Chain A
Amino acid sequence: EVQLLESGGGLVQPGESLRLSCAASGFTFSSNAMGWVRQAPGKGLEWVSAISGSGGNTYYADSVKGRFTIFRDNSENTLYLQMNSLRAGDTAVYYCATIPHPHYYFDYWGQGTLVTVSS
């Protein structure tokens, strides 16, 4: 059974940093592309970032490019999202999800972790 468990969310002030983690199990992690999708309170879904199985290819939404970095540790079956220069507009539940490469949609989702950016 595919399991994805996000952690690392919390309350931070504007301009601060946060690192999200997603621990994966139940599938061959290194063979799967992975991604992050966020959902602001009461709003719709927004794609944030994606990474290939090897980690060699990364993709970002314009709204986070240059501030967020996606990376993975295939030896630990863990996906990360390093978020710097956080803004109020980054407040959201962040979901990690598996991607059935080569098609970049999201087939299995974690339960999400809440990031709140507020002074």
Chain B
Amino acid sequence: EIVMTQFPATLSVSPGERATLSCRASQSASNSLVWYQQKPGQAPRLLIYGASTRATGIPARFSGSGSGTEFTLTISSLQSEDSAVYYCQQHHKWPLTFGPGTKVDIK
């Protein structure tokens, strides 16, 4: 099983500043890595697939990078509506596995 870790667990960022979230796989996930955003009381929403491709309708301030075991989600200029928990998920090998999430707070 590929174990996913995310850090930091919580990130507090001022509006307009950059937020950098990290996701690490215990073994190579190639580029089979996606990012989701989940706001309280809502279902998750797909942000990034293929490690770096934005999903339909996702603002350009969200970007993904990385391959293999190290991945990054960057929010270039944080907006108030970006307050959420962000999860990574690998689909390179079964079973599908999620990271524990990074909570992004607005300072």
Contacts and interface: CB of A to CB of B under 8 A. Distances in A.
Interface of A: 35, 37, 44-47, 50, 59, 61-62, 95, 100, 103-112
Interface centre among A45, A103, A110, A111 (most CB of B within 10 A): A45
B98 A103 contact: no
A21 to B, nearest CB: 16
**Interface residues of A, dominant DSSP:** loop
A37 B100 CA distance: 14
Contacts of A45: 36, 38, 44, 87, 89, 98, 101
Given A47-B96, A109-B44, 20 more contacts: A37-B44, A44-B87, A44-B99, A46-B98, A47-B89, A47-B97, A103-B32, A104-B91, A104-B96, A105-B46, A105-B49, A105-B89, A105-B91, A106-B34, A106-B44, A107-B49, A108-B46, A109-B43, A111-B43, A112-B43
